[in-house]
Structure 1
Amino acid sequence: MHLPRRPRLRLPLSALLAAACLTGIVSAPADADATSAGRDQDRALREQLEELVRSPGGPPGVIAVLRREGVSRVLRAGVADLESGRPIRPDDHTRIASTAKAFSGAVALGLVDRGALSLDDTIGRLLPSLPRKWRAVTLRQLLNHTSGLPDYTRSPEFLEILTADPRHHFDSRRLLDYVADEPLLFRPGSRYMYSNSDNIAVALMAEAATGKRYEQLLRGLVYRPLGLRDTSLPQGYELPEPYMHGYDVQPPNPPEDVSEVLSASGVWASGGIVSTPADLTRFIRGYAGGALISKATLREQRRWIDGASEPAGPGKNKAGAAIFRYSTRCGVVLGHTGNFPGYTQLIAATPDGRRSLTFSLTTQVNKETKPELLKELRDVEENFVCALLKD
C-alpha cells in the first residue's frame, strides 16, 4: 500500500552508527556433518540479509523465521531500533501490511465452511447500501481480486485527508465511500487487479452475514484456534511494545522513523493488523495448510488465476482466494506479501503447513518506490524458500 510520506525528521549520526548487523540462529541438535552444512547454509543466508541492510534504501533491520519439523531457525540483520541498537526478536510487534488480507480470507472462508457465507454471495445481497453498479460482485471475486472495485486508497479525497493529518481517525466501515461514485473498472471476473477495496468489502460482508464485528470474528475464527496471543486490529497509530521500528529510507537522507505516523483505521481489514513474526509463523502454517477450513473449501481457495501479490512474492506468482501461490526453482509455497510505510512482509508455507517462512523488513519496498531493491528482495526470498524446502 503506497501512501504519502511526511516531511523528513533528521536523526543523529549516532543512530546511523547503531545499525551494525546483529544475527541470531536457533537450531536443533544434529550430527557433525549436518551441523556443519547447516551452519554454512545459515552463514550464506545471513550474509544475504546483511547485504539487504547495506543496499541503497535498504531496511535498517530484517528478520526471517524458518520453521520445519518443529524447529525454528531465526536469522536477522541490522536492528529493531536505530536509537537503541537492539536486535529484532520474533516477539517484536510489526505492522503486517497487506498480509492482513489473508486474515480476512481466513474469516470469510471460515464462514463459508459454516454455511454463513457462500463464495457466490454478492455485494447486492449482503451490502445493499453500497452502489448498485457494484451489486453483481461476488465474495469469490473480492477474495481473488477480480472484482473491478476501484481502490479507495487512490481516491484524491482520501489522500488529501491523509496528507493533511496522517493520524486522522477514519470510520473504517465507511472507507468505500471514497469511491462510491465510481463505476467498476471492468466486468467482475474478467481480469485480475489488486485492490485494497476488495478486503474492506470482504470484512463488511462477513459482518453483514453474522451480525458480529469483524474484530470479534478475527478473535473467534483465527486468533483463538491458532493460538495467536500478540495479534490485534487496532484503530489508532500506536504500536504495542516491544516493536520493530519502521523507517522511510531515502538516501542520502538519514532514515526517518515512521512506525507510528499513520492511523491503522485507514486500512482496517486491508492492512491494519499488528502482529509478531512468531504469531505470523503460527498463522501462515495453519492458514496455508488448511487447518481452519474443510478440504472442499480449501480446493475452492486454491483455484489459481494469473495475478501477483503486492509486492510480488518469490518466483512465479498465481492468485487464489486471499492467498498466493509462489512457484520457485525449489518448489511451491503458499502465502501473502504486504508493504506499508516502514514495513514489508512475506509469509509463506508449504501446502501442508509443515514448513514455513516469515520474512519482515523495516522499510517499505515495492515496484513503485524501490524496483531494484524489490528485485533483490525477491531473489533473497527465493533463496530462503529453497533453504526451507531442501532436505
Structure 2
Amino acid sequence: MPRSPGRLFRTALSATALVAAVGGLFQPAQTAQAEGPATPPHDRNLQRQLDELVGTGDGPPGVIALLTRDGRTEVYRAGIGDIESGRPPRADDHMRIASVSKAYSGAVALQLVDRGDLRLDETIGERLPRLPEAWHRVTLRQLLQHTSGLPDFSANPEFREILGNDPHHRFDSRRLLDFIADEPLLFRPGSRYQYSNSDNIAVALMAEDATGRRYEDLLRQLVYRPLHLRRTSLPQGYRLPEPFLHGYDVTPPAPPDDVSELVGASGSWASGGIVATPADLGAFIRGYGGHALISDRTREQQLTFLDGGASEPAGPGANAAGLAIFRYTTRCGVLYGHTGNFPGYTQLAATTPDGRRSLTFTLNTQVSKSNKPALLAKVRAIQENFACALLRH
C-alpha cells in the first residue's frame, strides 16, 4: 500500500527520530532451531516466551535471540523473518542494528584514546572549531556518556521534513550537525544525562580529525578486522545486503508493512547506521564489552557509570550509562551492552564483563517507550529472563 510522508512521524526512532509506516498483524510461531556445530539443549520456557511474544497483537512478526557461552551459541527464534517467503529469522541475516551503532563509535574513539590520538577531556573546540562556539567546551567523555547537552539533530523539523518527503534522501553524514548549528546547548555540559543522536556524530568527526581517516575506514581497521566481523558494514544507502531479516511496521488492524529499506542510513551514520548479522553483533559486543579492544586503563574510564542513564529503548533491569556502553543490572547479575530501535527493528546486545558470554535479542519491528510502552515492558522482562539463563549456566 502507498505510504504517506505525513504518516512517517507517528513513532519515535532512536537513530533518526522518524517513523516506520503502517502495519500490524501477528504471525504464527515457529519452532526454535539450534545453529552451529555445538549447541547446548534449548530451554523450553525461554522458547515459550518468544512464541508468546510473536503471538501478541502488536508484537513482532519474528524474534531471534543468540545465547553464546564460551564459544558455543544457542539460537532461539520464533515467528517469521520474511513474511513473503515465510522463512524464520536466521543468525546470518543482515539487519539494521540501530543505536547499537553508538557502541561501535565508542570502540573507535576509546582505542584512539589508548593510542594517544584523542583524549577523553579533549573538547569539540579543540578538534572541531567549525562547530558552534557555544559547543566548544563539550568533551569527548561527555559525548560518549550523553552528558554533552547537544540538541538532537534527528528531532530537527527541517531534518524530519526532508526525510518525510523522501525517506531515501542521501544526506551528507558529516554535515548532519548543521541542522542544529543555530541551537544552544540544552544544559551545561556534564550537569545531567540526556540521550542524543548528535553525540555520536560528533564522536566520529573527532575521530576523523584526529587520524585524518574516514570513519568507515577506522571501523574496518579498529573494529571489524580485530573482531573478525565479516558481515558488518556502515552503508550510505537504503538497500540491505542479502540475505536480510525483513523489518516491519506493525500497527493493527492494518497488515504489516515491510519497512526494511524504507529509510536510508546516511541520516543516522555513526549514531545508528550500521548493518550486521546477529552472529556478528554477538562477536562485537563480546569484544567491546569484554577486554579485547581497550586497555584496562581506558576501560576503567569507560565503566564509570551514571545510574539511571538508560539506553534507548531501555535494556533489561536497572540501566546505567558508561562511555558508549550501558550497565544492565538484572536480578541475576550484571551485563554490559547497548540497545537500539529503528523502523522495523529493535535490538539488544549485551555481554558479561569478561566478554565470554553474550546475548543478542532482535525483534523485526520497532518497539520503544513512545510507540509501544506496554510491549516494551514485556520485551524487557523476557530479555531479563534470557540474561538470567546466560548468567546462571
SS for the counterpart of 1:264 is: coil
Q: Is 1:21 matched with 2:23?
A: no
CA–CA distance in structure 1, aligned partners of residues 262 and 160 of structure 2: 14
Q: Deviations over 1:318-364 (max 9, x none)?
A: 00000000000000000000000100000000000011001111000
Match of 1:305 in 2: 306
The AA in structure 2 aligned to 1:130 is: L
Q: Report the alpha carbon displacement of residue 18 of structure 1 after superposing the two structures with TM.
A: 6.5
Match of 2:345 in 1: 343
Q: Is 1:174 matched with 2:183?
A: no
CA–CA distance in structure 2, aligned partners of residues 99 and 4 of structure 1: 17
SS for the counterpart of 2:266 is: helix
C-alpha contact (below 8 Å) 1:61/1:78 kept by paired residues:
yes
Match of 1:286 in 2: 287
Relative to the length of structure 2, the TM-score reads: 0.93
CA–CA distance in structure 2, aligned partners of residues 297 and 252 of structure 1: 50
Q: Report the alpha carbon displacement of residue 43 of structure 1 after superposing the two structures with TM.
A: 1.0
The AA in structure 1 aligned to 2:215 is: Y
Q: Is 1:362 matched with 2:364?
A: yes
CA–CA distance in structure 1, aligned partners of residues 85 and 37 of structure 2: 30
C-alpha contact (below 8 Å) 1:18/1:85 kept by paired residues:
no
C-alpha contact (below 8 Å) 1:342/1:363 kept by paired residues:
yes
Match of 1:389 in 2: 391
Q: Is 1:322 matched with 2:348?
A: no
Q: Percent identity?
A: 66
C-alpha contact (below 8 Å) 1:356/1:388 kept by paired residues:
yes
Match of 2:8 in 1: none
Match of 1:66 in 2: 67
CA–CA distance in structure 2, aligned partners of residues 385 and 17 of structure 1: 25
Match of 1:216 in 2: 217
Match of 1:371 in 2: 373
Alpha-carbon spacing, 1:53–1:346, altered in 2? closer, same or farther (3 Å): same
CA–CA distance in structure 1, aligned partners of residues 302 and 219 of structure 2: 18
Q: State the superposition RMSD in angstroms.
A: 1.6
Alpha-carbon spacing, 1:309–1:29, altered in 2? closer, same or farther (3 Å): closer
State which drifts further: 241-250 or 18-27: 18-27
The AA in structure 2 aligned to 1:24 is: Q
CA–CA distance in structure 1, aligned partners of residues 36 and 111 of structure 2: 34
Match of 2:192 in 1: 191
Q: Report the alpha carbon displacement of residue 199 of structure 1 after superposing the two structures with TM.
A: 0.2
Match of 1:44 in 2: 45
Q: Report the alpha carbon displacement of residue 69 of structure 1 after superposing the two structures with TM.
A: 2.2
Match of 2:9 in 1: none
Shift >4 Å, 4+ stretches: 16-20, 26-30
> Which structure 2 residues correspond to residues 121-200 of structure 1 after superposition, within 5 A?
121-200=122-201
Specify every segment of 5 or more residues in structure 1 that has no aligned partner in the other structure, as ranges: none
C-alpha contact (below 8 Å) 2:340/2:346 kept by paired residues:
yes
C-alpha contact (below 8 Å) 1:18/1:84 kept by paired residues:
no
C-alpha contact (below 8 Å) 2:26/2:61 kept by paired residues:
no
Match of 1:109 in 2: 110
Match of 1:256 in 2: 257
The AA in structure 1 aligned to 2:143 is: L
C-alpha contact (below 8 Å) 2:106/2:323 kept by paired residues:
yes
